[in-house]
Structure 1
Amino acid sequence: MARIFITGSADGLGHLAAKALIKLGHEVVLHARNEVRAKQALEKIPGAKEALIADLSSIAETKLLASKANALGSFDVVIHNAGVYQVSGQSVDGLPLLYAVNSIAPYLLTCLMHKPKRLVYLSSGMHLQGNTTLENLPLNIHSESSRITYSDTKLHDVILSMAVARRWADVYSNAVDPGWVPTKMGGTGAPDNLEKGFETQVWLAVSNDPEACVSGKYFHHKRQDHFLPISMDATVQEVFMTKCEKLTGVRLT
């Protein structure tokens, strides 16, 4: 039995992955952004161990979430599923909301939580249109920055997963494109298969298949897929990590 923590598991793909993993006999801890959603998640997934609460748009709350998770002990797997798509405006820290939730939150949790055996980061095929220069990333809170798009943040998730794979040789760290699936984020008209949208995360989390026991890869529907090669560039990875460190005061060790 594996111990698994899934961010953004009150609904959508995180919710479905949690149900599937519990059905397989694993221990799953959920995450929701507030008490109401946490209660609803536990009601919908009665086999879940518990639900931790934090608003991932807040640096302080994300740091506290890492502490709450660590208080439960080490997890075998962390699935960084939480994400937002069509949002604008700034976080409480003065950051673009997309950047705070999709990029900074997984960075902080990766740095601050006890190191798991496996890490899964949800990206998107839209990362192919992401800004590869990283020049638009803010270096401190409430600083002026260029517009950051959803595609940019999904590229950040691929870069982060590859950087972790390079630095932590004892951890399987991979990124996943779940496809355009009919969730609240994807919309009811999304054309991809919903089950295939979460089965790769489940597979990477607990399978002993040789194809799943790898690191530094990008998957779509349980197959390695094309991603921007620049994500593998150590210099680009270090630029991203350094900017995250300067912004948050937290370093990946």
Structure 2
Amino acid sequence: MPRVLVTGSTQGIGLQTARDLVAAGADVVLHARTPEKAEQAQRDVPGASGVVVGDLSSVDALREVAEQAAEEGAYDAVIHNAGLGASPTRVETADGLSEIFAVNVLAPYVLTALLPPPRRLVLLTSGLQAQGKLRLDDLQWSSRRWHGMQAYSDSKLHDVVLALWFARRWPQVSSNAVDPGWIKTRMGGAGATDELPEGAETQVWLATSDEPAALGSGRYLRRRRELEPNPQALDESLQDALVERLAELSGVQPPT
């Protein structure tokens, strides 16, 4: 029975992913931002074995979430599902970071770096990663005029970069980025074309299947199919530079 941690599992794709994993026989640990949401998540996924609680926009809270998660035991798979969509204005966290950058990019880095390496690692991205730009001189849109959709696209490119970096750093770990598609969720909006089960299916497959195709690493996938990522994601020097900046911002050193 694989043990799987799913961040952002109180609604949308994360909740669907957790439910499908439980149905597949996995031992699932949920994540919620608040105690109230944690109680609701346990009701929504009664087969889950536990839930960790914490706001992923705070570095201190991220450390606490990692401690809670580690207490639940080692993981066969970690699925970084939590994320924020585009916002009309730049929101800053208590740490002085761009909120979308903190939740979408810094959080998966910190949690992965603080937990023992899982056998499988999945970071959710978006097809908008193709429009993303990795601007090392302004990762958090501190000096540019804010553009919410571009900031979101950038963060999704960063997630692909992280998945490929972890694949290089940990050859024993299957690390991949997944575009779930345009899913009918609160973030996806009314015009979305795909249903929730479609948005969760590839992550569940990567976390649980022993098919050779599910065990590959260093890929950008959609509907189990490998696609070409944004060319910047393949640049190993950019991968290293992004991780170096995340380590500086968080105080969490890259894992060995």
Q: Does TM, scored on the shorter chain, surpass 0.5?
A: yes
Q: Find the residue that maps to 2:123 and give its secondary structure.
A: strand
In structure 1, the partner of 2:76 is: 76
In structure 2, the partner of 1:86 is: 86
Shift of residue 144 of structure 1? 4.2
Shift of residue 137 of structure 1? 2.1
Shift of residue 36 of structure 1? 1.1
Q: How does 1:94-133 map to 2 (within 5 A)?
A: 94-133=96-135
Cα separation, 2, equivalents of 1:210 and 1:103: 29
- Which portions of structure 1, spanning 4 or more consecutive aligned residues, are displaced by more than 4 angstroms? none
In structure 1, the partner of 2:249 is: 247
Shift of residue 192 of structure 1? 2.3
Return the TM-score normalized by structure 2: 0.94
In structure 1, the partner of 2:177 is: 175
Q: Which amino acid aligns with 2:211?
A: D
Alpha-carbon contact 2:14-2:82 (below 8 Å) kept = yes
- Which digits, 9 at most, give the CA deviation of each residue in 1:169-191, with x for residues without a partner? 00000000001110111123211
Cα separation, 2, equivalents of 1:247 and 1:31: 23
Structure 1 residue ranges without an equivalent (≥5): none
Cα separation, 1, equivalents of 2:101 and 2:57: 8
The match for 1:137 among 130, 139, 146 is 139
Alpha-carbon contact 1:137-1:145 (below 8 Å) kept = no
Shift of residue 195 of structure 1? 1.8
In structure 1, the partner of 2:22 is: 22
Cα separation, 2, equivalents of 1:69 and 1:145: 36
Q: Which amino acid aligns with 2:239?
A: Q
The match for 1:159 among 158, 161, 167 is 161
Alpha-carbon contact 1:137-1:243 (below 8 Å) kept = no
Q: Among all aligned residue pairs of Structure 1 and Structure 2, give the percentage whose two residues are the same amino acid.
A: 45
Cα separation, 2, equivalents of 1:100 and 1:73: 25
Distance 1:152 1:38, change over 3 A: same
Cα separation, 1, equivalents of 2:192 and 2:160: 23
- Which digits, 9 at most, give the CA deviation of each residue in 1:214-250, with x for residues without a partner? 0000110111112112212110001101110111111
- Which digits, 9 at most, give the CA deviation of each residue in 1:10-36, with x for residues without a partner? 111110011011011110000010011
